[in-house]
Structure 1
């Protein structure tokens, strides 16, 4: 199918084409071939976006909450109406199967729906004071914000940040990934068509380091939110220190999965295998390190391997595809290196383990008996590889789960209610799923601990991250 969309920047309420600007070639990962050219913002473009956001912010901040809410609701409705077309763009740009792409667009719409209503419940506080005195606590928008989002869930993660920031009354400059400009541009069009005032939202593509340094270094930007790798997050945090810019960071994961011997094994396997290979494993909360109790370990890896063999890889637009390609040419090589290292150190390949044909494909892979010194046990693969190892008892499982400096999400499967409570207390992670992978929703905070970052997005907490607190005391 033809990739049919116009790729532009959105600055100060107008769409800017590629004339006089450098461009980035958009590639379909299922074929490896170029499908479009997206213009890259110049320094002048970024300065114009900053100036526009600075002008628009006081007006948007003062806009009645009901009007702000109505615009957000309209944007969500437009995303739903256009979901099929946007999903096709997303699949062609990023590779995920069409059903997953459509689900992502609907998820993005849900963010606008939720924050359209949550902003109406943004209550302050009245403090107890002697008669005749008053003291109140207000939440106000932080100001102009910048957002930086990755290519694995390009429209959903953009919506998660933008919906909350706009609801809070902030003006936003967003830099989405150059690899997926069509679907993120569609979100900007939905906001524009919903009646968002000029300058309140800007969409700029560009060289990541150049754009981030320019926006974070500006005194106009008072807060930024970044989703991506740990090293880049740390580098951006250092940039923010010079201007005391507020930061929210959602960084790497490498999620552990604890499988206890009292779980419903077949039910558990039917859940974990599709989740492992969703979006080809390119999910920050993807279940990756499977620690399985000794007595069921052999049965677990046998069942996992059998189900893995049934995963159908191919072009995400094909009806039969259950797992698409990796998102770019770098990923297959990176995954191959991790698998080869694990094999050299004694891991057994139970399924997959090789690159696929054409495009950026890698086979769904299961590794058994992976030693602790294997690179893949210590570095997030961000791909379609599950690694497994045995554990003896509860304390051993917790030690393995908490061993790494990451703490985004973790999962556990057990039918013992007491153990489930103890797992929730003992695991070091921002989100824990027990007999469930449902850790991301519009009404729930999403964020990590340790090297996985700090601050939350989603839920009431996601609104608060774009606000500052003011106390007013009157005698």
Structure 2
């Protein structure tokens, strides 16, 4: 065994030892709600089980929230908002920086719990924990200026705008990289002065408990952050319909987003949706093909392919299609699938048996539609939710494998003739979250990016996030933008205040002689 293999084995064992300690200390007694600064059971006393995706064995009991728990949490958030909204931005900054400090201090614990709960490889969950701390620091530093507006002078008036927190908000987060995505939503809400009711995904509820614990330890006042576990059709629905909740921030599947919009209609909820994607990566024959290959492989096979911005369609110019897909297949065949707590692992198990079956179903669909499985297309092992990284070739854009979000380590390769053909193929889906373009023609890069129907586009790069930039999609991929001040536009109301300089004239009514009113003729 090589030194690197020994080191990987030792690290894996250390991670397993920590995972067992955390199971015994944190998960043994189950996961509870956090409402009004207190850890509580569900009022109905119901629980559900969460399982390890490695072998689908029992992991923990989780409190199952319902309408009564959501009502209690919303009430706590409403009460806390009356004081949290008045806390200075400077004080909020201090608290949020303390949250970031604690996330960094407990990053290994977070990473191990996240890998245990979701099946994501530990190598990626370490960076996810770091990104969670970065999210809190970024918005901590923006908290003092969150209420700043603009000076808008006009003839005879001084207009100025301010921003004020919208109120208690609901945050509903997904099961893929749940810790990082929770911080991505919760940090700007708190920086803006909002209070939060958080409903995490039932398939990966563990790290939400840890985040609540960290924020409490950092000194967040009681009721400012509340956590209610449960299912979408009960706890989630109650949250989206509750009259005290002023907005819903949701990350997840497009159909669920439609349900949330309908459920929030009666109370005129503001909504922010980050939804599904079938993102294209377009490779022209003049691109740096070695770098493009690295990016294509990384953006579909990292994080188990379970991410909204994954480039799950690769559009390749026909002259290089055969050679480029051959290289993708070689790389996919070499990817290490296995124990998510082993640092050498590149792909772990999919999060849940139901999702595993969904991903597996596309292998038969590909064959039925006439595509070729150039690599993968099979499960790995006899237990757990492991899937070989998969490449479909000989595909057309009208196939289900090219149109539907598979959300796994599955890539569909489609050839194109020229720029016009590539753009038509790239846009011919209902989604529009992200797009990736590889070419050394700078004019074409700009022209193609302008024509691509997507909220975010990277040219000659994989997804590299820069927090001040807007994050979000078009079409069925979402509503609104996160990132920088774009998040404050969602979590805050903009108010205009107009001050007269006393120079304008107001129209006067009712100051003249009242007109005579005609008298009625006798007998009328």
TM-score with structure 2 setting the length:
0.88
* Counterpart in the other structure of 1:200: 224
Indicate conservation of the 8 Å contact 2:153/2:160, yes or no.
no
Residue 460 of structure 2 corresponds to residue 453 of structure 1: no
Indicate conservation of the 8 Å contact 1:345/1:371, yes or no.
no
Q: Find runs of 4+ consecutive structure 1 residues off by over 6 angstroms.
A: none
Residue 371 of structure 2 corresponds to residue 347 of structure 1: yes
Q: CA separation in 2, counterparts of 1:130 and 1:418?
A: 44
Q: CA separation in 1, counterparts of 2:207 and 2:240?
A: 25
Q: By how many angstroms is 1:438 displaced?
A: 2.5
Candidates 107, 120, 125, aligned match of 2:131: 107
Candidates 104, 119, 138, aligned match of 1:95: 119
CA deviation profile, 1:160-211 (whole Å, cap 9, x unmatched)? 1100100110010000112222211111111101100000000110121111
* Counterpart in the other structure of 2:518: none
* Counterpart in the other structure of 2:424: 399
Q: CA separation in 1, counterparts of 2:90 and 2:77?
A: 21
Q: CA separation in 1, counterparts of 2:235 and 2:402?
A: 33
Candidates 361, 385, 395, aligned match of 1:360: 385
* Counterpart in the other structure of 2:516: none
Candidates 371, 378, 382, aligned match of 2:403: 378
Indicate conservation of the 8 Å contact 2:329/2:375, yes or no.
yes
* Counterpart in the other structure of 2:286: 262
Unaligned runs of 5+ in 2: 1-15, 501-524
Q: CA separation in 1, counterparts of 2:243 and 2:359?
A: 40
* Counterpart in the other structure of 2:445: 420
CA deviation profile, 1:302-349 (whole Å, cap 9, x unmatched)? 110111111010010123211101110012221222121111222111
CA deviation profile, 1:84-133 (whole Å, cap 9, x unmatched)? 011100000000111111111111111100001122333211221446x4
Q: 1:393 to 1:138 in 2, by over 3 A?
A: same
* Counterpart in the other structure of 1:13: 37
Q: CA separation in 2, counterparts of 1:184 and 1:109?
A: 14
CA deviation profile, 1:266-324 (whole Å, cap 9, x unmatched)? 22112221221111100101011111001110110111011111101001012321110
Q: CA separation in 1, counterparts of 2:252 and 2:435?
A: 18
Matches within 5 A, 1:70-469: 70-122=94-146, 123-130=148-155, 133-357=157-381, 358-469=383-494
* Counterpart in the other structure of 2:67: 43
Aligned length: 474
Instruction: Please give the root-mean-square deviation of Cα atoms over the aligned residues, in Å.
Output: 1.4
Q: CA separation in 2, counterparts of 1:334 and 1:91?
A: 21
TM-score with structure 1 setting the length:
0.97
